[in-house]
Structure 1
Amino acid sequence: MNEIKEITPQEVENKLDNNEDIKVIDVREDDEVAQGMIPGARHIKLSDIPQSVDQLPKDESYVMVCRSGRRSMNASEFMKEKGFSNVSNMEGGMLKWDGELVF
């Protein structure tokens, strides 16, 4: 199994602040997302990932996010298996996110 790279919430925030080309995908449920999302993140529930990955370009850099980092790790592993080469998991999930939120 390919090792999934983990990225800290601070590193994600720095990349977003520096306008680096990363795509943040939030795999939490609707009620969790209603409590706030990382600005610019795209919401695709974990259960919707299998049918949604075909619509995502494989050459982009993705950071997967959930509440604690476990579901997003599952999503990251699934995407790696589907041929996405640049997928990271945000360590600790939204529980560790100190940055701005959008509602």
Structure 2
Amino acid sequence: MDSTMIFNIVALGFIVFFFYSRFAGVKGLRNLSSEQFQEAMAVDKDKHVLIDVREPGELKQGYIPGAVNMPLSTMNRRLAEIPKDRPVYLYCRSGMRSKQAARILRRNGFSELSHLKGGMMAWKGSVTQQSSGGA
């Protein structure tokens, strides 16, 4: 094999790994539709933690009432703010970042994780519009 062939194989390997790490499922993560997400949060009414992992600028489009804004970019350094003994519900714009957040939480000992499949684009429940304070 020549060096170009080896380079192409390595590059292809990195591409496959990138897509796998972005799109593969997260062990133990419940992927919930909008309706299932609402029902599950109603069952865990006063026990759950609802986290919006979008960036602050995205909150202008509205957020789910009761959500705490904890952008994915800050998740690793804010883990201590999330109780490990309560169910955690995650969402973002499309569902990709909330899955990444779930991976981070899973690696750090969180077990009861759910995310909104399709994110805010799929959400059919009520939305709170951002005031000067945000979510």
TM over 0.5: yes
2:122 to 80, 91, 96: 96
2:39 to 4, 14, 17: 14
Identity %: 32
Contact 1:15–1:22, Cα closer than 8 Å, also in 2: no
Ranges in structure 1 where 5+ consecutive residues have no aligned partner: none
> Superposition RMSD on alpha carbons, in Å?
1.6
Residues 12-48 of structure 1: per-residue CA shift (max 9 Å, x gap): 2223445623221000011211210000011001101
SS at match of 1:34: helix
State the TM-score, normalized to the length of structure 2: 0.70
Larger radius of gyration: 2
How far has the Cα of 1:59 moved from its partner?
Answer: 0.7
In structure 2, the residue matched to 1:59 is 85
What one-letter code is carried by the residue in structure 1 that aligns with 2:37? V
Paired residue total? 103
Structure with bigger helix share is 2
Greater RCO (CA < 8 Å, at least 6 residues apart):
1
